[in-house]
Amino acid sequence: MAQIFHRSANFLARFSLLGAVVLGGLALTAVLVVARSPYITNERVSRNQPIQFSHKHHVGDEGIDCRYCHTSVESSAYAGIPPTRTCMNCHSVLFNNVGYLEPVRESYRTDQSIEWVKVHRLADYVYFNHSIHINKGIGCSSCHGSINQMPLVFQASPLTMSWCLDCHRNPQPNLRPRDQIFNMDWKAPADQEEAGKQLAAEYKLRTTTELTSCSTCHR
Amino acid sequence: MDAMSEHAKDKELRILQGAPQAASASGNHGDHEHEDHAEEDTLRDFTLDLATVREKLKEKSGKQYWRTLEELAGDPHFQDLLHREFPRHASEWDDAVDRRDFLKLMGASLAFAGLAGCGRPDESHIVPYVKQPDGMVLGKPNFYATAVPLGADAVGVLVESHEGRPTKIEGNPDHPSSLGSTDALVQASILNLYDPDRAPTVLENGEIRSWSAFLDAAQGLATAMKAQNGAGFRILTGTVTSPTLAWQLRKILAQYPLAKWHQWEPAAGEGAREGAKLAFGRIVNTVYAPGKANVILSLDSDFLASGPGHIAYAKQFARRRKLDGPNDTLNRLYVVEPTPSVTGSSADHRLPLRAGEIELFARALAGKLGLCSPVPLSGEAANWLDGVAKDLQKERGASLVVAGEYQPAAVHALAHAINATLGNVGTTLYYTDPVEAEPTNNLESLRELCADMDAGKVDLLLILGGNPLYDAPHDFDFTSKLKRVPTAIHLSPYYDETSVYCHWHVSESHYLETWSDARAYDGTATIIQPLIAPLYYSRSAHDVVAAFSDKPGLPAYDAVRAYWTEASARLDTSVEAGWRKWLNDGVVHGTKFAPIKPELKFSAISLPVFQPAPADQIEFIFRPDPNVYDGRFANNGWLQELPKPVTKLTWDNALLVSPKLAQKLELAHKIASRGGEHGQVRSTVVDVDLNGSKVTAAAWTLPGQAENSVVLPLGYGRTLAGSTGSNKGFNAYAVRTSNALWTASDGKITPTGDDYPLACTQYHFNMEGRQILSTGTLAEYRKNPAFAHEGGEAPAKDNSLYKEFEYKGYAWGMAIDLNKCNGCNACVVACQAENNIPVVGKDQVMRGREMHWIRIDRYYANSESATSGKATGDPAEYNPSLDNPQTFFQPVPCQQCENAPCEQVCPVGATVHSAEGLNDMVYNRCIGTRYCSNNCPYKVRRFNFLRFQDWDTPQLKLLRNPEVSVRSRGVMEKCTYCVQRINNGRIEAEKQSRPIRDGEIVTACESACPSEAIVFGNANDPNSRVAKLKAQQRNYSLLGELNARPRTTYLAAVRNPNAELEKA
Amino acid sequence: MKEDRSQLFGVMGEFATPEHILSAAKQARAAGYKHITAYTPFPVEGLAHAIGFHWTAVPLLTLIGGLGGGLTGFGLQYWVAAITYPMNIGGRPLNSWPAFIPVTFELTVLGASIFAVVGMLALNKLPQPYHPVFNVERFARASTDRFFLCIEARDPKFDLAETSRFLQSVAAEHVSEVKDEG
Amino acid sequence: MSVTQPPLNAPEIRRLDPVLQPGHTYASVTDKIAAVVLTRPLGIGWLAGFTLTFSLVMLLFGSLAWLIVKGVGIWGINIPIGWGFAIVNFVWWIGIGHAGTLISAILFLLNQKWRTSINRFAEAMTLFAVACAGIFPLIHTGRPWMAYYMFPYPSTMGVWPQFRSPLIWDVFAVSTYGTVSLMFWFVGLLPDLATLRDRAKNRFQQLIYGALAMGWRGSAHHWHRYQSAYLLLAGLATPLVLSVHTVVSFDFAVAIVPGWHTTIFPPYFVAGAIYSGFAMVLTLAIPLRKVYGLEDFITMRHLDNMAKVMLATGLIVAYGYFVEFFMAFYSGNKFDVFLAQQRLHGPYAPYYYALILCNILTPQLLWFEKVRRNVAALFVMSLVINVGMWLERFVIVVISLTRDFVPSAWGRYQPTFWDFSTFIGTLGLFVMLIFLFVRGLPAIAIAEMRELVAHESHAGGDSK
C-alpha cells in the first residue's frame, strides 16, 4: 500500500496533540488571571472627574480631615459624598473666581448636582458598612490607599471578595489605634503583631467564623 | 441578559436617586443623591431620554400621565402662567424640577433593564446633593409618624423613609389604634402610593387639565352656587373622621346654606348607629376593653380582625391568651357567626348560625338574663346558650358581649342592654361621642341623594373619595341618576368606574403625600404628614373642598394648621407649642374622647316579635373581603395575592357555602393537576339570582359555614380598578339592594355546569396525624403541661456520632405562640414589604409558585381525613367533622434548622449556616438547582421560576427596601429572620461595643403582629423573651422527629372550652 | 529518473495464519535475530513473547495515575471544607469524610484511566501516521487477514539476501524489502 | 441444531446458537462490517430517519433557547415539586448509558465471547446516552450560565463547591464516566480505524481514518500494551459503571424526602440501569442487524442472552420495589407508610400500576424460550421496559415530592409542552447520533471478530 502521510506527519500529529493540551491549560490560566487583573477589578484605574479635584491638595497639602467632606463615614454605611454647599464653604471665598471651579459655582447657582464619576465599585450584592470598619480600627488608607498622595483618586485595592476575606480572616495586621484611623500615612509599627492582638481585644472583634459568615456581608 | 448586574443596579437604588423630594417633618426641601448607571446618558440628552421614558412607559401605564408631563412639567409658558396666576404656588411648582429628576431616575432605571451589560461594568456616576438636608444621614432611614385612615378609624404608624422614599410601615406604639402593631391592610397601603395605575392628573371629560384650570372651573361653579344659595350643591363623602375636613365641609355648608353633605361607606354597617339610637336615643361610639374581660361573647363580630380598633383589641385579647404555666388562666371566647372569621377561628366555642338567627340568639340570651320573656332555641344552640349565659353571669363586670357590625340595630341594642345588666359598662367597655365627624345613616343619606339627583335637584355633585357607581345598592341605579347631574366632580386615587361618568376627575393624593388628620376609634387625633411630594399631579380632599371655599388653592397644610390653631384652644395648648410634638409622637395629645354615660332607654320587651326565616331557607349575606375590603384595595397586588385568612384563596372572591349545602347543590371541587392542593382548585360555577338581578360566581365549600347561609364577599368584579385589580372575581354589589344590604333571602343558586379555577394556596387542611400543630385544652394542659411533646419528638442532642457545632455568641431564635396567633395575615404582608418579595400573579399562584416567605397554614384540628381515605382532605367529600371544625393557624417562616437539610445538599454552598445559627441564603451564589427546596421538610423555600421581580416600573423601584437584595430569576430565596435588621442592629451595638439588647432587633413579622404571637431574639440569653418562651413546656419544634433542630419553635395552642358545653 | 536515495528499513515476510507467524517468529529468535517485529490483524497469543517482548509499563502508570487522582480528590475536598473556608453546613462536621468518598473514587478512576490510555499510546509511540512498513504494498492486508514478520536492517545479524532467504525458509508466502524514503 | 454447529467447550451452552455463524473468514467478517461504512450507499431509509431525528434536535435547541430566555418556569415544576422531567430524563438516560460499558467491561472480564459483536455499538449508545443525560443537570438549574460554580476553580471570591452535596458527586461521576467511556471506546476503535484506513476507497476516507488510527499497525508490541491497557480499563470501568448510578441514586437516597431516603436505592438503581440499558441495546440491535444484514454476527444467541440479563435485572428491580414497601411498614416510619399508601391509591396511583406492569409483569414472559427467540416480541418488550423505567424515575422523583412532610404544602405536578419538547428533543439527538455512528464507524468491533474467527476455526479444527 502507498504511504498515506509524509514523514513529517509524525511530528505534526504529536506536536498538535501536545499543543492542544498546553493551549487549553494556558487559556484557563488566562481567564483566572484576567479575573484578577485591573481590567476587571478596576484597581489603580483613575477616572476623569468633571472637576479636577485633587485629594492630594486638599488632604495632603491642606491637611483637611476626611470627615470634613465624608461626614457620615463614622455613623452610616455610606461615607457620603459632600454636597456642593460643602465646597462652597471655602470656595465662596478662596479661588472664588478661578475658571476650573466654575462647575462648582454653577452647581450651587443652578441647584444642579455635580456628577462625580464613581471610583470604588464594590462587587454586586455586598453590603459594606463604613462606620463599623472605622469604629473597629480599620483606617481609611487600609483600603483606599494613600489618598493624600492621589491628585486623581484611583481604586487602590482589588475589592474582590477574597481580598475582603483576607482581612476578615485575620484583621490584626490592619488594626490601628482609634486616633490613627484617619491618618493617611499610618504604617504598621514593628510590633504590629503584638499591637494587633491587643487592639483586637480592645475593639472586641468578633471571631473569624462570625466575620466570615455569609450574612455578615450578604443579605 | 445578565440578571446579576440587574441586582446590582437595584441595590444601588439604596443611595437614591431622584425620588421626588420628601417634604419631611423637618420641613426640608431636600435635594437628592443619585447613584446611577445610565444616569449620564439621561443628562447629556435629556429630551431624548424623556422620549424613551415616555415610550417605555406608554406600554406600562398611565398614558395621560406622560402626555401631562410634556404639557405641564415641560412647557415653560404654562409655568409662567402659573406663576402669574398663583404666585403663592410658584414655590410648589418648582418641584416640577424634581419631577424631571424623577424622570431621569426612571430613564436610568429603564436603561438598566435594557443595557444591563454582562461582564465589565462601565462608568457610573455619583450625584450628590447640592444642599444636603439637615438631619439626613445618607444610608440611614428616617421614621416619621403619621396615620392610615380607614373608615371610622385611623391606625397610627411610623413610616420608614430612605432618602425620601417611604419604604415600610411600622406600628406606632404611642397610638391607641396601633399600640405598635399593624394589620395587612395598613402594611399593604404603602403599595398603593407607588401604584403605576393611579390617576396621574386632573381630567375634564377625559381631557387633561391643570390644577389651576380646575380651580378656575371650581370658582366658576362656586359663584353660580352662591347665587342659588347652594341649592343643588351636593357633597358625597365616605365616613369622615378628619377633623379638618369636617371643619372645612361645615364651613362650605355655612357658605352655601342649601347645600347638603351626604355620606356613603359601602362596607360599614348601620347597626351600630341605629342600635345606639335604639338603646340610648343617640348615636354613641362603643370602645371595648377585651383585655379586661374573662368571658367574651361575639354576636357575629369579627372584632379581632376588622372594624375600628381591631388591632388594639387583638393585642389586648392576645395578652389574655398568654400562658406561662399550668397555673395561668385564660379568658374564654364564644363566637356565634354565620361564616368563619378570624375571630371565630380563635374562639373556644364557635356556633355557626345564619346571620338572620343571631338576633334570635341575642333575644334568647336576653331572655336568659331576664331582660325579656324567654325565647326558645332549638338544637345545639339551646344548650350552647345555657353555657354561655351561665358563664357570662359568673363573670359579671368582667364579661363582654360584642355585636357584629353587620347585625341589625336590635342586636346592637340587645348587646348594650346585656352588657349593662352584666355590669360591664365602664369595665370591659365604655361609651364616647361618635368618632365620625358627622354620624348619619349612610343608606338613607345616599337614598336621599339619589332621589334628589333623580328629581334633577342636583346641579353640582362633589364626590370626595369613594366609588358609588360601583358600590351603591344596585336598586338605586346610581349610574343613570348621576347622568342627570349637570356637573359631577370626582376625587379618587384611580380613574375608576365612577370617574368615567363624572365631568371632572381629580387624582387623590395618597395619605403619604398630603397633609391631613384623622381620628382613631377612641377619638385620638393624629396629624397625617406627607413623606414624599406627590408622585403624580394629585390633590387631597382638603384642596378640592378649599377650591369651593373663599380660599381657593389653600394648601392642605394651611388648612390643617388653621383647624388645629382653632382646636388647640380646647386642648389648652397652642399649635406652636404642640405641633412638633404631635408630629413626632403621631398623636395629638388630649384629643382622646372622654367616656360618657348615656342612659339606657331600651328594654328588650319593647322589641317587635321576631320570626327568623325557615331553617331550610338559604340566606345570602354580604361581607367586605378580608383583603380588598370594599374594593378600594382591588389594585393592590400584595393584598390580591395574600391568601385570605380562612379560605386561603387569592386573586378571586368566591361564593362561600357550607359543606352540607354544597353536597345538596352538588357543588364540587376538582383539584387540578397543575399546582394541585397547593395552587389550583377548580370549583363549580353557579348563578346567583337575588333581588331580581343575577351574578355568576365560583362556589367555594367552606367548612364551618352555617348550613343554609352563603356569603357573597364584596370588593371584587371591578372593571376599572387598574391592571392588577380589574376583572377579578365577581361583583357582589350587582345583587346587593338597599332593602337587603347585609342579609338577603329568597335567592336562588343554580350550578351552570362549568367550573372555574381558583388559586388556593392551601387546600389540604388535615394534619394526617403528624406532629405539626399541637393543640390541647386548658384542662389537658394542666394535667400534662408537656402534651405538645407527645407523638414525634426530637432525639436527644448528644446521640450524634459527630461533635455538635457550638453557638457561643448570639443564637438567633424565634418562638411562635400558636395560642395567640389568629391568622390575621399582618406578618405575611409585612414580610413582603420588608424583603422586596415580588407578586407573581394568579397564574403562577395556581402553579404553586407564590413567593411569601412566611405563610400561615390553616388546619382543622378535629377534622377527619376524607372518607375515601385518599387523604385529599377535600371538603367536597362531605364528612360531618367539617360542619364546625376547630380552626387553628400556624405561621411558617423558615425554621432556621441547626441541622439544615437544605444546606447539606446545595452543590455551591449558596445556603450555609452563620456563626449565629442563621440559615444564610446567598442569592448571588445560588445557581437554582432547587435541591434545597426538595429537601426542606417545611417547604418554606421560594424559587424565582421566572423573572418575577418587576425591573421596569420605576415607581416600584422607589418602593424597594435598599437593605435587601432584589432576587433575580432562577434564584432560591427564603426568610432570613430579617438578617438586614439583625446586621444593622448588631453594627449599632458593636459601635458602642455593648451586647445587643433583647427586643432591640425585631423582625418584620414580629413587629407587625397585633397579638404578639411572634417573638424573636437571642436564645442563648436565658433572660431574653424568646429563651423564656422556649423554656416553656408548651414549646415544641415542627416535625421534631426529623432532628433538623429548628431555631423557630412553636408553643402549643391551648383552648379554654367550657367544661359543661364539652359534656353536652 | 533520479536514483533512489531511500535506505533499507528491513525485510518483511508475509504469513497466512497466526500459527505460521508464531513459529516463524520463534525460529527467527532462535536464529539470533534481535530486532524483529510482527504485524497481525488481531492479537496473537504468545507472539510478543516469541519476539522477546515481555514487560510493559502500562500497569505501573495506571497505578500512579489512580493514586494521584485519588489523593488529589480527597486532598482538594478536605482543604476546601476544613482548611481554606471552613463553614457550618447543616451542622455536619467540617471533615465529613464519608461524603468525600464518591468524588475521591471518581477521580481515582479518572486518573488511572487517563494514565492507562495515554501511557499506552505514548509507549506505542502513537500517533505515528508515517511508518516505513506502510511502504510495503501488501502490508494493507495486515489489518485484514495477513500476518507479517519484519526483521529490521539495524539488526547486527541483518543481511538483505541472507535474511530474505531465512524468511522464505520459514515458509513466508511473500518476502519484500521495506524501504524508508529519506 | 445442525452438525455444522461448532461444539463449544462449555457443555451447558452446547444447544445454543453460535455467537458467530460458521463459515466466516478474517476477510469475510472484515469486508462485511467495513462495507457498511466504506462502500454501502446512503439508503433512503437512513436519510429519512436522519432528517426526522435532525428536526427533533432542532426542536431540542428551540426548547433550550426558550428556556434560557424565560427561565425554568416554562416547565411544570413548582414548590413542592422542584424537580420534574429534567431530572427524570437525566436519571433515565444515565441508566441507559450503563449497558455499553457494562457489556464491554464486565462481560470482557468475565470473558463472555458473545459480547464481542454487540459491545461496539453498545458503547456508542452509552456515549450518546450520557451526552443526552449530561444536558439536563446543566439546564435544569435556574441560572445555567452560573453552573460553573459547581466546578472547583480558584475564584476571586475565594469560595468553592460544597462537596457534601450529591449534585457535586454527580458532576464528577458523570464527567468521569463520560471521559472513561470515550477513551474505552476509542481504544477499542483503534485497530478498526486502521482497518478502515487500509481499506479506504478514497483519499478523504484515508486521511480521516488515517488520522484517527494514529498510525496503528498492529505490531506485536502495540498489541501487547494495547491488551494490557484494555484489560486495565475494563477493570476500572467495572466499578465505575456501578458507582455512577450509585451516585445518581444518592441524589435521592441522601435527601430526607420520604420515598427518596432509602438504603436500597444504590443496588436497585444500578440493576435498573442495566435493565434499561439492555432494553435499549435490544431496541437498537434488532433493527440494526436486520437493516445491515448482520444476523451472522448478532445471532439469536446474543438476543437470547440479553433477554436473560433483562429478566435477571428485572427481578432485582422487582425486589427493590418490594423492599421499599417492606421497609416502609417494617420501620413504621409514618411518612414512608403514608407514601407507600399514596403509591397504591394516591392521585398518581395509575402511574405506579403502569410501572409495575411494564417493569415487573411484562418481563416475566422472558421465562419462555419461545418469547426470547421471537425477535419482534423482544423488540416490543424492550420498548415497554424503556417506558417502564422512565415511569419508575417519574414515580420516584416527582410523586415522592408531591406529598412529603407538611400537608399544607402538598401539591401536584403537570408537565408543560416544553417539558415534552425537551425530552423528545433528546430522544432525537440520541437516535441521530446513532444514525451518524453506524455510517461513520464500524458498528461491530472488527478486530475482535477476527479474533473470534480465529478462536472458532481453532475450535473447529479440534472437532475434525
- Residue A138, in any domain of the structure: yes
Strand order in the sheet with B1048-1051: B1014-1018, B812-817, B1048-1051, B1035-1036
In order of C27, C32, C168, D199, the CA distances from C174 in angstroms are: 17, 21, 8, 20
**Across the interface, do A124 and B914 touch by the CB < 8 Å criterion?**
no
A168 shares a domain with A76: yes
**CA quadruple A118, A122, A123, A128: dihedral positive or negative?**
negative
Task: Give the mean model confidence (pLDDT) for residues D165-179.
Answer: 95
- How many CA atoms does the CB half-sphere of B806 hold within 13 Å? 4
Q: Please give the full DSSP string across B129-143, using - where no structure is assigned.
A: -SSPPTT--TT--EE
Predicted local confidence at residue B60, as pLDDT: 41
Q: By C-alpha distance, which of D324, C90, D335 is closest to B1041?
A: D335
- The CA distance from A141 to the nearest CA of chain B, in Å, is 20
Q: Does residue A186 lie in a domain region?
A: yes
Which cell numbers in the block locate residue B629?
375590603
Q: Give the model confidence (pLDDT) of B1005-1015 as tens digits.
A: 999 999 999 99
H helical segments located in B339-400: 342-345, 355-368, 379-394
The tally of CA atoms less than 13 A away on the side-chain side of residue B529 is 27
Predicted confidence (pLDDT) at residue B122 exceeds the cutoff of 70: no
Nearest to A9 among C85, C130, C140 (CB): C130
Please report the pLDDT score of residue A1 as a whole number.
53
Picking from C85, C89, C94, C95 by the largest number of B CB atoms within 10 A of its own CB, the best residue to mutate is C89
Identify whether A26 is part of a domain: yes
Decide: helix, strand or coil at residue B942: strand
Do the domain assignments include residue A145? yes
The mean pLDDT value for B766-787 works out to: 89
A124 plus A23 within the same structural domain: no
Provide the pLDDT for residue B883: 87
B737 interfacial to chain D (CB closer than 8 Å): no
- Is A153 within a domain? yes
- pLDDT, mean of residues B378-406: 92
Q: Which residues of D touch A5 (CB under 8 A)?
A: 210, 215
Looking at the 3D structure of chain A, how many domains does it have? 2
CA distance D136 to B225: 75
Q: Is the pLDDT of residue B9 over 70?
A: no
Residue B1064 pLDDT grade (very low, low, confident, very high; cuts 50, 70, 90): low
Using CA coordinates, name the residue in chain A closest to C182: A7
Count of other CB atoms within 10 angstroms of residue B750: 12
For residue range B184-214, list pLDDT tens digits in order. Answer: 999 999 999 999 999 999 999 999 999 999 9
Contact B1009, B182 (CB under 8 A): no
Residue A180 is assigned to a structural domain of this protein = yes
**Do B34 and B125 meet the contact criterion of CB atoms below 8 Å apart?**
yes
Q: Which residues of C touch A (CB under 8 A)?
A: 85-86, 88, 127-130, 134-140, 181
Distance CA D169, CA B188 (A): 45
Per DSSP, B675 falls in state: B
> A211 to chain C nearest CA, in Å?
12
For residues A127 and A186, membership in a common domain is answered with: yes
Query: Do B526 and B588 meet the contact criterion of CB atoms below 8 Å apart?
Result: yes
Distance between CA atoms of residues B273 and B403, nearest Å: 12
Here the cell at position B780 is 389537658
- The verdict on C97 touching D (C-beta cutoff 8 Å) is no
Distance between CA atoms of residues D209 and B87, nearest Å: 92
Q: What is the 3-state secondary structure (H, E, C) of B81-129?
A: HHHHHCHHHHHHHHCHHHHHHHHHHHHHHHHHHHHCCCCCCCCCEEECC
User: Chain A residues within 8 A (CB-CB) of chain B?
Assistant: 39-40, 47, 72, 75-78, 80-85, 107-108, 111-118, 121, 124-125, 127, 129, 131-132, 135-136, 203-204, 206-207, 209-210, 213-216, 218-219
DSSP state of B908: T
CA distances from B768 to B145, B680, B816, D169 (A): 47, 21, 22, 36
Q: What is the pLDDT of residue B880?
A: 79
How far is the alpha carbon of B730 from chain A, nearest alpha carbon, in Å?
41
Mutate to test the interface with D, among C56, C106, C133, C149 (most CBs of D within 10 A): C106
- DSSP strand pairing (B332-337 vs B911-913): unpaired
Average pLDDT over chain B reads: 85
Three-class SS state of B166: strand
Buried b (16+ CB within 10 A) or exposed e, B510-529: bbbbbbbbbbbbbbbbbbbb
Count how many Cα atoms sit within 13 Å of the Cα of residue D408 in the half-sphere of its side chain.
25
Q: How many beta carbons lie within 10 A of that of residue B226, not counting itself? A: 14
Name B737's bridge partners. B740
Whether A74 and A18 map to the same domain: the answer is: no
Domain range annotation of chain B: 2-117, 140-263+438-475+493-609, 285-432, 619-763, 775-797+810-1059
Residues B287-299: b if buried by 16+ CB within 10 A, e if exposed? bbbbebbbbbbbb
- C165-173, long-range: CB < 8 A, 24+ apart: C166/C28, C166/C31, C167/C11, C167/C12, C167/C13, C167/C24, C168/C13, C170/C13, C170/C23, C170/C24, C170/C27, C170/C28, C171/C15, C171/C20, C171/C24, C172/C13, C172/C14, C172/C15, C172/C24, C173/C13, C173/C14, C173/C15, C173/C16
Amino acid D16: pLDDT: 63
Q: How far apart are CA B759 and CA A185, in angstroms?
A: 64
Q: How many CB atoms lie within 10 A of CB A58?
A: 17
Burial B93-128 (b: 16+ CB within 10 A, else e): bebbebbbbbbbbbbbbbbbbeebeeeebeebbbbb
Q: What is the pLDDT of residue B931?
A: 96
Query: What span, in angstroms and rounded, lies between the C-alpha atoms of B424 and B648?
Result: 36
The arrangement of secondary structure in B619-763, i.e. its CATH architecture, is Beta Barrel (2.40)
Residues 91-110 of C with CB under 8 A from B: 91-93
The answer to whether residues A23 and A59 belong to one domain is no
Model pLDDT for residues B621-680, shown as the tens digit of each residue: 999 999 999 999 999 999 999 999 999 999 999 999 999 999 899 998 888 889 888 999
Measured in degrees and rounded to the nearest 5, phi and psi for residue B930 equal 65, 10
Q: How far is B675 from chain D (nearest CA, A)?
A: 5
D6 and chain B: CB distance < 8 Å anywhere?
Answer: no
- Annotate B457-487 with DSSP letters as a single string: --SEEEEES--HHHHS-GGG-HHHHHHT-SE
The domain defined by B285-432 folds into: Dimethylsulfoxide Reductase; domain 2 (3.40.228)
d(C-alpha B137, C-alpha B28), whole Å: 13
Q: B1015: helix, coil or strand?
A: strand
pLDDT in tens, B539-571: 999 999 999 998 998 999 999 999 999 998 888
Pairing mode, if any, of strands B709-714 and B775-777? unpaired
**Residue D244 near residue D134, CB atoms below 8 Å:** no
Tell me the pLDDT band of D87, cut-offs 50, 70 and 90: very high
- Which domain covers residue A27, as residue numbers? 8-36
Band of the pLDDT at D459, cuts 50, 70, 90? low
What's the rounded Cα separation, in Å, for the pair B1011 and B313? 9
Indicate if the pLDDT at residue B4 is higher than 90: no
Residue D32 carries which side chain, given as an amino acid letter?
K
Radius of gyration of chain A (CA): 25
| In-domain check, residue A163 | yes
CB B752 within 8 A of CB B686: yes
Could you say which of 3.10.20, 3.30.70, 3.40.50, 3.90.1150 is the CATH number of the domain covering B140-263+438-475+493-609?
3.40.50
Does A162 contact D153 at a Cβ distance shorter than 8 Å?
no
Judge if A162 and A209 occupy the same domain. yes
Query: Do B944 and D162 count as a contact with CB atoms less than 8 A apart?
Result: no
Q: What is the pLDDT of residues B1011-1039, one digit of tens each?
A: 999 999 999 999 999 999 999 999 999 99
Q: How would residue B1063 be classed by pLDDT, with cut points 50, 70 and 90?
A: low
Judged by a CB distance cut-off of 8 A, whether residue B925 touches chain D is yes
- Closest chain A CA to residue C139: A1
CA dist., res. A20 & res. D109, Å (int): 34
Q: Which of D37, D172, D182, D209 should one mutate to test binding to chain C, selecting the residue with the greatest count of C CBs within 10 A?
A: D172
Q: Please tell me the class of the B775-797+810-1059 domain.
A: alpha beta
Whether A106 is covered by a domain: the verdict is: no
Which position has the grid cell 380598578?
B721
Which residues, 6 or more positions from B48, have their beta carbon under 8 angstroms from its beta carbon?
A: none
Which residue of D156, D197, D207 is in closest CB contact with A161? D156
Residue to mutate among C77, C87, C97, with most B CBs inside 10 A, is C87
CB hemisphere CA count around D389 (13 angstroms): 31
**Contact assignment for D142 to B928 by CB distance below 8 Å:** yes
The band of B94, judged by pLDDT with boundaries at 50, 70 and 90, is very low
Q: What is the mean pLDDT of chain D?
A: 90
Percent of residues, chain B, with pLDDT higher than 90: 71
Mean pLDDT of C63-77: 96
Match 451518524 to its residue by C-alpha cell: D436
How big is chain B by its Cα radius of gyration, in Å? 29
Q: What's the confidence (pLDDT) of residue B863?
A: 63
Find how far residue C129's CA is from the centre of its chain: 14
- Residues B917, B918, B923: CA angle, nearest 5 degrees: 145
